[in-house]
Amino acid sequence: MSFFENLNMAFSSLKAHKMRSILTMLGIVIGVGAVIIVVAIGQGGESMLKTQITGPGNTIEMFYQPSDEEIRANPNIFLEAPFKQEDIRALEKIPEVKKVVASSTKMSTARAENNSKDVSSTGINQAFLQLNELKVVNGRNFSSADFLGGRRTGIISSKLQEELFSGQNPVGKIIMVANQPIEIIGVLEKPSGLLSFGSMEVYLPFQTWKIIYGSSDYTQVTLQAESPEQLQTAGKKAAKLLNQMHNTEKSYQVINMEEIAQGIGQVTKIMTLIIGSIAGISLFVGGIGVMNIMLVSVTERTREIGIRMALGATRGQVLTQFLIESMTLTLIGGILGIILGWGISGIVSFFAGWPSLISWQVVLGGVLFSMIIGIVFGILPANKASKLDPIESLRYE
């Protein structure tokens, strides 16, 4: 008997007992679906975390950690901005550095009409805008003229719009930031995702920020390398340069955000593996269900098996027939489980605000694993069927 004839018999057997087949496949469907959901959500969460941490890529954060001697010499050193204007110009001359993204942040009070709120006021340079996209949904983004001319323009967060203007359109209106007038030119997109908290922020061109607060120093500096291969070199040169300029030893250092993201990625992969393994237990339970039903099927079809063997069917052919039936049952369940997992993970990712990553490896793994379950848990019933005595089987009622 050919493979296709066995396959046809398998489908005929499943059709003959529709409800039993559906209930048996349900365990496989739930098991495969659960594994797909866990892996997809886990990989999507990992991707979102890495994106949130590393940003657009090829970047390293500079940070300043004063030594004990510096702290003793100046107890207020933490209140001072660690990066000067000349630091930025010097960093821009490093060959491996493509952009120097600089910004300064202070807590201030923003007032509009009769409302006032505490806000995070951030002055940014033009490179900041090129590397970190400010997603403006209402109004416009900063232009080169805003940066070069130090225009008193600002972009506010959606949360600040809600608090100061009760959801009304604020574009073109004036707010007072640190008692200085600022024209609102845009409103940022409402944040979504795991690391979004809806903070109240105002972004200003750095020249404007400098005039308002009377400071030309920066609190945050990020370097973008020319290429990923030059990232480490750029960071080492930048740290060495700043330490020389400020006459310090190791106070200026770099944080490789890519390494931090990889570390977090390892943690999320381990968690996904653990939770996925727990979800995989339901696959084992589903496999036992398949074996149980196949044993019942062998008992019910004892007479049929006897007739086939009396007509010349070999043990191998009977074994193959029941193995194919078992594999067909689990394969259909696996495919339905993949569809179920794909759909649910898509719904979860839509409401959670992170990507759902389902790779072809996961789908292929789900299909193959379903077939393996069919083989493993179908061997015992198939072996039992192949060992039946033809004469005894024909007498079976």
- Crossing angle for the helix pair 18-54 and 360-386, to the nearest 10 degrees: 150
Residues 135/187, Cβ–Cβ less than 8 Å: no
Asked whether residue 199 falls in the same domain as residue 275, the answer is no
Is residue 317 scored above 80 in pLDDT?
no
Q: What is the mean pLDDT of residues 62-67?
A: 84
Q: What pLDDT score does 194 carry?
A: 45
Asked whether residue 210 falls in the same domain as residue 321, the answer is no
Residues 338/32, Cβ–Cβ less than 8 Å: yes
Which range marks the domain in which residue 391 is found?
3-52+262-395
Residues 219/86, Cβ–Cβ less than 8 Å: no
Asked whether residue 239 falls in the same domain as residue 386, the answer is no
pTM attached to this predicted model: 0.55
DSSP strand pairing (97-112 vs 220-225): antiparallel
Closest CA to 87 of 64, 121, 106: 64
In a domain, 323, yes or no: yes
Asked whether residue 80 falls in the same domain as residue 46, the answer is no
Asked whether residue 210 falls in the same domain as residue 235, the answer is yes
Asked whether residue 167 falls in the same domain as residue 84, the answer is yes
Asked whether residue 281 falls in the same domain as residue 246, the answer is no
Q: 174 or 384, which is more confident?
A: 174
Q: How many domains would you assign to the chain?
A: 2
Asked whether residue 207 falls in the same domain as residue 330, the answer is no
In a domain, 256, yes or no: no
Would you place residue 329 in the very low, low, confident or very high pLDDT band (cuts 50, 70, 90)?
A: confident
Among candidate residues 224, 250, 276, the one where a domain is terminated: 250
Asked whether residue 236 falls in the same domain as residue 368, the answer is no
Highest mean pLDDT among 32-46, 277-291, 329-343: 329-343
**Mean per-residue pLDDT of the chain:** 79
Asked whether residue 117 falls in the same domain as residue 182, the answer is yes
How crowded is residue 57: how many other Cβ atoms within 10 Å of its Cβ?
14
